[in-house]
Structure 1
């Protein structure tokens, strides 16, 4: 518990520093780029999303990045202990876990694609809303309210469609999180009994404890992939801004 609290504290500290660094870097970049080039390539809505949504996703991926090396370590230690307890019976549960890996990868890839499309629609919506607010007097004068409401609603409907798809995949991850422990336990102990071994209270309770240790990193794996996929999408979006050439100032 002490180590976990220290880890959470350090992750919060790193996340706070990363957020400040990213927002400052994006802000400084917008000041060193020609306004003509900046306005031709990016909208105000995109830049706002860079400093809010994209920054949040990158910061939130810090624990996921840490889990990339800790999950394999936890799995290796737990599998060794399971082998010491139930022998090769643990392979049945491991095979089921391995089958889930490509499924989790497909889900993570699809979440990344939906996140990219979602951010594109969000940029368009924020851009249009910003333009409407800037020209609200002319819109009121010519009674164009309903026209722009329809345009914003159309973009919002597309945004909701991609958001709905991503949330369905999140729900699928939750389903795997809920069912994986039960299935792995049934397969492991079922194979142990079919091999002619006798279940004892010590074996069952110790095995369940070890399976819970195994299931925790397995359940975290889809969320780690999800967080890393979303962070990678945001990094590529911000990289587009960083790749724009700066103005060259000459002092005489």
Structure 2
């Protein structure tokens, strides 16, 4: 009975999606046009007693395909089912969908075929599940093993090891390691990027021939028109496929390098020596992981611009020279002027952004201080004074924002107006030089000017990204070259070979290598298994330093440190509680009772 109700509810909430009416009307009209054309061809062949040519064969193929579309338009259903389930169906669902768990276990990208990689159809199962219901975290597939952080970290370690062995140095160059790590994927992305940039200029190249064909179609064969149309279609198809592939590949390579660098920074932070920890704070290490790694990732994205810029500009000048002759050099001069003028604007925009962030930080800092000390400000009647200070800070931030917005408006005007400026200068130069401007030449030149818009404004961004990426790589390289904890500082002994868990014999330790006298001298410590040891002493007597010796964080001058089994260090968190002795004592008893209750729960 329950199963019948469940099926009834699900069927009532399931809705089949149909094709749009306009699309069905277009398919029907296309079939009627193809049928009329096929009828005319058949009448022509029968009347003139000629053989079937390839144009008529193409018309027959188009008729068959349009007939299939006609069937779909009559049927009207897409085959996709939309499930609008209400809350009444939730209690009847037992367990999770098996398909979802299967997608979670296997990465669709790792098992994708060549056709699926080209068309990105390996994402269709995920889109199907996401169309039915919002995706949960456990329904999103795992990444491929080659994109996992563990695999990428090991791969980057091997690159560092290879550079170290090849150069014969203890400190490998991170530039060379990044190059070896990313060269294969970057070469494939560069090939796709160059292909996309090259095929994008096929359209402007063929426009002049297409206009000439339309003007002289009485004297041209129909085959040349079909070839031109096929050239436009094929070039756009190749450009789209190559463009999607290099964009996806650039993002993938950037994420791979990001995961590898973050893993290296994190692992380096675990083994930093005590002296290195004093110069590298936790906030600085977090900036390496977030800001610097992101800048390097941005450089990977703009890396393909290095290969695309010369191809795009060279092809544009070639097409313009073919159509306009010496007018192409006028276009080149105008393009150079626009590109050169855009570089200082980008630098000023970066400077304005820095000023905005500084003003924002000052305003947020002052606002936080005012809110945190509002009681004191009210008691001292300082609210008006600090209000004026906040207004002044807001005004400063407003001024920098206004300057940045005006510069952004100017940059946007140049961006959208650069094709018009270049075309006016080029066509004016052609008129002065007496170069005839036909419809085909003008249309081809206008399309080429529009294609030049992207490389004009990618060059300043590329220069800024290169500068920022270089600084970030040097910062990370300097961090990765910091001193580490010595591997021989602590000796690990198997449990069956000693009766002591911790053993220090004649140890001499110091924090700084420049100090002559050791901080801890002649340390003798033996702790048996299961013992509880308390280290007592005044402030600054070396209690924490002794624990650092056991961890291997202090520099060992002489002696031995042996550890049997595993070790862990839990630092203290000092805190101050206001109140009298009675209140503190009662709070301590209360916390002790809560801990005992929690322990009893764990036991039961």
Please state which band the TM-score falls in when normalised by the shorter chain.
0.7 to 0.9
Change (3 A) 1:193 1:199: same
Query: Is the CA contact 1:176–1:219 (under 8 Å) kept in the aligned structure 2?
Result: no
Structure 2 counterpart of 1:229: 467
- Which residue of structure 2 lines up, in the alignment, with residue 239 of structure 1? 477
d(CA) in 2 for partners of 1:118, 1:196: 51
2:6 corresponds to 1:6: no
Pairwise CA distance, 1:72:
0.7
Give the equivalent residue in structure 2 for 1:134: none
Partner of 2:487, secondary structure, is: coil
Q: For residues 84-133 of structure 1, what are the alpha-carbon distances to aligned partners after superposition, in whole Å with 9 as ceiling and x for unaligned?
A: 100111222211222344444545666777889999x7xx99xx9xxxxx
Go from structure 1 to structure 2 and tell me whether the alpha carbon gap of 1:198 and 1:103 turns closer, same or farther (over 3 Å shift): closer
- Counterparts in 2 of 1:24 and 1:118: CA distance versus 1, 3 Å: farther
Q: Name the structure, 1 or 2, with higher relative contact order (CA <8 Å, separation 6+).
A: 1
Q: Residues 1-252 of structure 1 correspond to what in structure 2 (within 5 A)?
A: 1-38=240-277, 40-106=278-344, 173-250=411-488, 252=491
- With normalisation by structure 1, the TM-score equals 0.72
**Does the 8 A contact of 1:82 with 1:90 survive in 2?**
yes
Q: 1:6 to 1:54 in 2, by over 3 A?
A: same
Give 1:189 shift: 1.0
What is the CA–CA distance in structure 2 between the aligned matches of 1:248 and 1:168, rounded to whole Å? 56
Choose between structure 1 and 2: higher helix proportion: 1
Whether the aligned pair in 1 keeps the contact of 2:272 and 2:484 (CA below 8 Å) is: yes
Gaps of 5+ in 1: 129-138, 144-152
Structure 2 length-normalised TM: 0.33
Q: How many angstroms apart in 2 are the aligned matches of 1:83 and 1:6?
A: 31
Q: For residues 224-249 of structure 1, what are the alpha-carbon distances to aligned partners after superposition, in whole Å with 9 as ceiling and x for unaligned?
A: 22322332232233233123222222
Change over 3 Å in CA distance of 1:246–1:168 after alignment to 2: farther
- Does the 8 Å CA contact 2:334/2:422 hold for their aligned counterparts? yes
Q: CA contact under 8 A between 1:109 and 1:229: conserved in structure 2?
A: no
Partner SS state of residue 245, structure 1 = coil
Aligned equivalents of 2:303 and 2:349: distance in 1? 17
Kept after mapping to 1: 8 A contact 2:323/2:441: yes
Distance 2:418 2:438 in 1: 23
Structure 2 residue runs of 5 or longer lacking an equivalent are 1-239, 366-371, 377-389, 492-604
> For the Cα contact (< 8 Å) 1:97–1:218, is it kept in 2?
yes
Root-mean-square deviation (Å): 3.8
> What do the CA deviations read for 1:122-155 (whole angstroms, capped 9, x no partner)?
xx99xx9xxxxxxxxxx99xx8xxxxxxxxx9xx
Counterparts in 2 of 1:208 and 1:102: CA distance versus 1, 3 Å: closer
Corresponding residue of 1:149: none
SS of alignment partner, residue 452 of structure 2: helix
Aligned to 2:575: none
Q: Which has the higher strand share?
A: 2
